Structure 1
Amino acid sequence: MHQNFPRIVKEAWLENNPLRVVISNFTVKARKWNCEVFGYIFAKKRRVLARLNGAQKALADRLSDFLVCLEKQLLDEYALILLQEEEYWALKSKLNATTYGDRNTSYFHVSIVVIRNWNKITCIKDGRGDWIFEEEGVKNHIRSGFENLDTTGLDMAPLSSPISQFSCCYFIDEDQAWIGQAVNEEDVRDGLWALKPFKAPGPDGLHAGFFQQFWPDVGRYICSVVIAAFNSGVILDYLNETLITLILKC
């Protein structure tokens, strides 16, 4: 992470505005900072490699403390750029699936071929442990499984039964009290940390990992919105916004 990026986060999230406005302002500031300060990763990588190559050639001709320090500084900078490049491609792989997944591109066609190969059932094992390889046999086995799942030997049932006679489990009084208690900041934090950091982001482009990394700065905003939603029983419209992709089944 760039050393100046946490300052951009703090400046954006110190504003006393609604969460949606804060995220929008932060996105604008982050894009501007990316262009003016952070720069283009691959251009920086080429520039550092060129300087490193020149410093090492100069060291081969004559040894000096300045060149040794410069080489160490460039190696550290190059290692940081490699980490940034790794994170860039990790993010890019998710965004490509979101942006290009439903377009008529080579990316889409390759993805469909891979998914089709993964989803194709060539054989299946029955209840006795025998493998079924014939296509018609696989179809019959799957069909019979669903037929048995949705059938019952019960001809009739009483109209009403006391809950104490149900065979299923039900919550004890202690569990019911725990479920009905008010949501606090610790519950919100635990829910956020239960998410994987770099799953596909939402329309705002922010991963769960961003909120986990900068929780001291953004936590009060997130907690206030989530707790208000539980207390009022109403979820703000923009929190339900998502990206829907049509997956063709062949």
Structure 2
Amino acid sequence: MEAIPAPFSDHCGILVSTVAPIKSLPKPFKYFEFWAEHPLFLGIVEEAWNGEVSGSPLQVIQVKMGRVKQALKKINKEVYGNLQDQVKEAEGELLRAQTTAYQDPTSDNFEAVSLKKDHYNHIISAYESFCWQKSRVSWLKVGDQSSNFFHQAVKIHNSKRAIRKLVTDSGVELYQAEQLVEEVLGYYKKLLGEVNMEINPSREEVDQLVRQRLPDHECANLVKEITAEEIRSVVFSLNPQKAPGPDGFSA
């Protein structure tokens, strides 16, 4: 409960919160396209990728992707942290530089305007790309100057997918993030059951469950070797912003 100040009245309002603030969990990593616009992007990624790693091929690529992830998180924190504030700051610096150049039209002052304009364009482009990617609106493209629309789309999307409360079988209401996670995991474990390693059906028992069977030529297609060209064709046909994996990198 909190009192709301009322400087021009003898009475004040009372704000009552019926739900305790929800503690948010750490957000998972997500790759953003605008990182690639950083002039040092390729060098940083190459350095992270080329480090020595031992293990199986799958372990090697997992470790390398982890290194790239940490390098990109560092770029984001040091260069692109709080983009919305950076846009306002860059715009203010550009306006001040323009005012100085108009009042004192020297070559140095106009050069400063050019540099500030380049910085502002880079930051506003990164912010617009960030909002577009977060909004998941595919029918508008970056460059349409629709950052406000993208920002609203992000808020609507996050609101729709947010789980703010769960009610247990016994009627208890849960609000805290840790409680919500535990309840969801418990529900699906109960629904799907535990792994039973003692189940070992025979071939005959499995055959009895299969009512329809594929002809031999289609069975052969299912087990034939997949070529590198087929894999490349499928991967490169995906939308670059779709199919994000557990590591946070999209297609």
Range of TM-score over shorter length? 0.3 to 0.5
| TM superposition score normalised by structure 2 | 0.47
Highest RCO, 1 vs 2 (Cα 8 Å, sep ≥ 6): 1
TM-score by length of 1: 0.47
